[in-house]
Structure 1
Amino acid sequence: MKLPIKIALFLMALLSVMAACTNKNASQRATQTNTDKRYSYEYVKKISVTQPKKALQVLQHAEEHKLMSPIDINILRSKVYYNSMLDYKKATFYAEAALNDSDINNRPEQLMSLLYLAALEYYNCGNYAKCLNMADRAITTGYKYDNRRLVGQVLTTMGQCHSEIGNVGHAINCFDRSIIIFKGEVKKSPNWNLYYALTTSNALKANAYLEMKQYKELFQMKPEYEGTLNKLNTLPEGISGVNDLANATFYSIYAIGYEEMGNHAQGSALYDKLIVTRAANTPEGATFVVPYLMLTKHYNEALSKVNEMESVWTRSGKDTIDYNYIHNILANKAKTLQAMGRYKESLETGIRAYDLNDSLNRRIKAQNALRVSEQLGKKMLKKHIERQETLLRINHIANIVIGALLVICIGLMIIGFRINKKLKAKNQAASTLVKELLLYKKQLMDHLAADEANNAKNNRKTLEANDDKQQQYDEFLRMEKMVIDRGLFLQPKLERSDVAKEMGISTSHFNELFARFSDQSFTNFINDLRMEHAAKLLKDKSNYTIEAIANECGVPIRQTFYRLFSKKFGMTPAEYRNVVADE
């Protein structure tokens, strides 16, 4: 799953819980003597998303003056801390407090929604065993009281658990079952709560397809998902600001999907819609925009968003030993820094995330051990400890394997260093040989020029005395010297006819000379001269780029230049330049 989108999907799933209480709950709360709407369950639930601090203040006042029942207060606090404050430890504390209240069994509708809420909270803590335990209790209770809505909602959470452990196919099956349930429910009662639950299931399913890169299925479900979202937008919001969150989630998922498919125009269009949503412009909005920014290589902007989210987290005084902080903030920060090439900072962030995750695991183990000791007794504690010891053994084995892999990596690095050293020595020797060959060729050309001057002094009779073969060979050498002296080989599209014209002979005669005295093709002959000239430029003109030298040598195509140079000298132009630069 695309990690930065997870928190948004978790939030969507949680918000659907806030609408789970039926009219029966409302009637139960209506029997309370308090008539001030500011201290009603529905009012606090409504402001819990957009005004969480105010909601907590209202609940504090209600508790001090006994204006609401303890169960309602604990449930609402759990929702506020989970939904808006992202403080999962406090959220699970208040959820457990409400579940341990003996009066909760007399409120089956609240019990079912609370079990679902607790399942989501434990899921976000990374405690999947506890999450599935709560989900199982919720489904059992839902079937007992024939609450299909609750079953559909809990199925989405179970699907998320399956997705987290890698069983994405089964996760999609859970999402499909929840979609079928909610489709049936909206036909009977097309209200905002049900359409939001249906939209959430579609969002989770779409994100699962995105994770598995099943783009065909992702875009096949787009019309139905978008239609449900459009219908949701036409209905009065049950919770302020939630429709905006649903829209941002849709835009984020499909912007990423289109971008990964190479449809940059569609991805950009959806991203433009995403960034004008209110959700995307909050510090927590990094969960929506960072994946797209990473895909489009806007690393600085992505890092700025992640840093802003981290800054808000730390300023709020939240505990950094937290599943969301470790897996959604630090993990994405490390990935962004790595993509920017800031490897040291990326490594430091990754190590920090690892250390915090280790502390989180130890804390969860301690908390679980205490809870088991208090609730289930010594027998269950023994089983729990045995499971923890098994996990520790597995961790120990994993550490050994990681250590072995580290040793192997170090060994490979040493081998690579030695190979590199040998390669450098080989390149040094090859460079020396290249210089000797170039010097020899220059001397040969100079000798040819001297012979030509001497021949000019001889009389016509001596020239006529030479046999025909010697004359043709001398003519071939003059041709070679002319090509070098006049720099004809530097022309990108030099033909045989061009050289023959410069010599003042026919093309057929030139072909005869070349075929008789050259042991290579005309193309290879010219390319050899170009590469020899390139070797000289690489040494003499260190301020020239390799591409500029390639163009000057008549080989404008970079790949062709590298191939020809490596073929002639046994090393790349860059390696050759490094060798001659060290001399």
Structure 2
Amino acid sequence: MHITCEFRTLFLISVCVLFLFPAWTIAADSTPDSLLTEKQILKIYYSAPDSALHLLNEAEARHLPDMPLFRIDILRGMVYESQGMYALKAQYMQRALQYDSVQKVPSRKLQVLVRLATTLDRLNKYGEGISVTTEALALARQLKLKVAESELLFTLGRMHRGMKNLSEGYNYMLRSVKLLEETNDVREMARLSTSYGDLSSFYDEDGQNEEAIRISKLRTALIQRMSGMSGPPPGYIDQQYGYLYSKLAYYYQKAGRPQEATETYNRFRSTQFARQPMGVNEIVPYLLLSGQYEKALECNNQWKQLFASRDSVGYDYLVLLDRYARIYRGLKKPVLADAYQLRATVLTDSIYSREKQSQAQEFAVIYQTKEKDMQLQEKGAKLTRQRIYFAAACLVAILFALLLWEKQTNLRKTRQRNRIAARQIDELLVQREELRRAYAGKEKANKETPGLVDDNIKNREDKETDNLEDEEAEFIVSRKRQEDLNEEDRHRFISMENALLADQLFLSPKLNRDDLMRLSGLSKNRLSTFIQEYAGTNVSGYINRLRVEYSISLLRQLDAYSIDAIAPLAGFNSRSAYYTAFSRVFGMTPMQYRETLKEEEEV
């Protein structure tokens, strides 16, 4: 039966392989499948975007099951985002939404919608972005994902603010933070801290300085609450305090509250974040506003070192140059200030030209992508692939069900065998106990009337040999003497075993061959033969058998004890030694025996 089941399983696997083989056949290419994975794309998409796009094209052409089309489009969007091509990212997010595997999985659809919404916000496509964000918001509420709902509300707020609808924008942002204000979940609190920081910046930019300070105080209380929890990763709380104090010191200085600004600045300096490049960058606006130009120059010089290893510069370097111009103007060095201002102007023109070129390149890629889609996305080919995948999934499901059925069948047979073995174990132990009692009773009778027993035996032997020839009589007498010797050894074995059981000497880890020699009165050489003859095993096996038999009563009585706890109580040094001895004696494990007991109790 077992061979038949294995044959059937192998046959079905073979059918699956033959059926799916055409789908695995691809044109010869030097790129191995091991590189066409999401993990590999995520590793290189930022540093080597062209290579990442090549791998994604190969994965799409080969129809790899581990890289579905919707996931390939999402990864393409991430690659184009790393290159600042947000229009292409939006296009691939929109295409990913068209797949049934995205539309029919709410959590997956929400993930794509969130990515698309933030991209449309970045492109200033507020009308389309609000529509997408509203759809995602409804889905987040349906899935009861508070963090996603809060993030989407904040995105709506940013879009309305970008459309100059400040009142509506702040309304959404405040709803976003209110949704998470009562939470005790660290992940949700981290999202709330970020929202507080962005909201305070927006208030400051719009001239609502007191509101920026109020929100920053709410963020202070939140970070204090988070600091008493075990969830945040190392360094996170310090970083949050660093961002908070650098902004709050600026807000206080701007509001004409220099003493509070100084106190907050000192708190900033007490953080580890203040000694990191990002912290050095964050505090410069306060130092400029408070007229601390020397300190601002020192911080700007530290921040400048980060740009030494970069191949190109962008808006962050433009900010660096502008700060140098303001610093040197404050230090009354107009020549240096004008020089940095000129460099900033030249860089601005360069960035503008580069962005124009990048936009032209992006439009060219968009055109090529549309042409490619028209060629590759044929309806018939798509339906054929879907049918192949569906058929393969059905075969895999059937194979899995068959394997599961075989496993359940084998499990039932094993349990049945274990129940039979457990009953046999119990019966064997009862028989041995009765045998020991019988020998004990017989030995007691011999001690009470030893002379009578010996006379009876002698009279019986005399009667049996009276009528026999000398040779026959001698043979019978010899045989009787051998039986008497065997009986004596059997009594010796029973006496030894009773002594072991009575005082539970067999439970001692120190019990050895010398102890058995003392109890049996036999020599070392005779003991091994003696144990083998009457116990059917060696000395170690005999002691382990007594321990295993004793553990049966422990397993029955101490049902709350684990197997690890039973092992030392039965005289074993380790769980593995107990398992080995139990299996060798009874053909099953202690855990299987205990499970059989539970099943018998339930029945």
TM-score by length of 2: 0.43
Report the structure number with the largest CA radius of gyration: 2
Higher relative contact order (CA 8 A, sep 6+): 1
TM-score by length of 1: 0.44
